[in-house]
Structure 1
Amino acid sequence: MATITKKKLISEISRRRGLHPNEVRLVVQSFLDCMTEYLSDGDRLEFRDFGVFEVVKRKQKIGRNPKNASVPIIIPERRAVKFTPGKKMKNLIETEEAQGAAL
């Protein structure tokens, strides 16, 4: 399993589409900036077949210090980004998972 960076992604899109990497970089960065802005405003982003990004509220909970389990730590309530994969992505990942298990 590899880690794909923004730079690698830009390079691959540039190669596939025959565009200059600087053009692709501007579009990708603008896309990410818009996503961040919309999510910070509390908006929900839905991309058909890909998935949904939304901001959810995580409740306050009590955690434990692994070095001293007898000391409870209060983890405060917070907002977090949740991603739910779309049908197409979910099916593709599940198919890959099943093929990997069969090997």
Structure 2
Amino acid sequence: MAKTVTRADLVEALARRANMQRTDANRLLTRMLEMMQDALVDGDTVKLSRFGNFNVRAKRQRIGRNPKTGEEVPITPRRVVTFRPSQMMRDFVEKGGRGRAKS
């Protein structure tokens, strides 16, 4: 069964691989995520080389349907975050991560 990688897992791996304290690793990860969030809120694209791109997409208002009642309901316009993996990431996942040691 696939495991869910949590924020705590990322902090632990970062601390171990970079030989730093967990508190420092947590601060670093938090700041990186905040910078990504700020960029997305501003409508910028977050491009991580060899990983993928995060974009914000504006969705228009549309009519949806309540599945229980069948009633038509307007869905308000909103902004959504999308992720498009790089070709390198797609190839890496398709091959099961072969070619790089896991820690």
TM-score category of the 2 structures, normalised to the smaller one: 0.7 to 0.9
Task: Within 5 Å, give how 1:1-103 maps onto structure 2.
Answer: 1-69=2-70, 71-96=71-96
Q: Gaps (5+ residues) in structure 2? A: 97-103
After superposition, the CA RMSD in angstroms is: 1.2
- How far apart are 1:94 and its partner, in Å? 2.4
Partner Cα separation in structure 2 for residue 88 and residue 82 of structure 1: 18
TM-score, scaled relative to structure 2: 0.84
- How far apart are 1:95 and its partner, in Å? 2.6
Give CA deviations for 1:59-82 in whole Å, capped at 9, x if unaligned.
22222212112x011111111111
Partner Cα separation in structure 1 for residue 88 and residue 25 of structure 2: 25
- How far apart are 1:87 and its partner, in Å? 1.2
Give CA deviations for 1:31-58 in whole Å, capped at 9, x if unaligned.
0111111110111111111111111111
TM-score, scaled relative to structure 1: 0.84
| 2:20 partner SS | coil
Which residue identity lines up with residue 60 of structure 2 in the other structure?
Answer: K
Partner Cα separation in structure 1 for residue 82 and residue 33 of structure 2: 16
Partner Cα separation in structure 1 for residue 50 and residue 62 of structure 2: 34
Which residue identity lines up with residue 52 of structure 1 in the other structure?
Answer: N
Higher strand share: 1
Partner Cα separation in structure 2 for residue 45 and residue 82 of structure 1: 10
Q: Gaps (5+ residues) in structure 1? A: 97-103
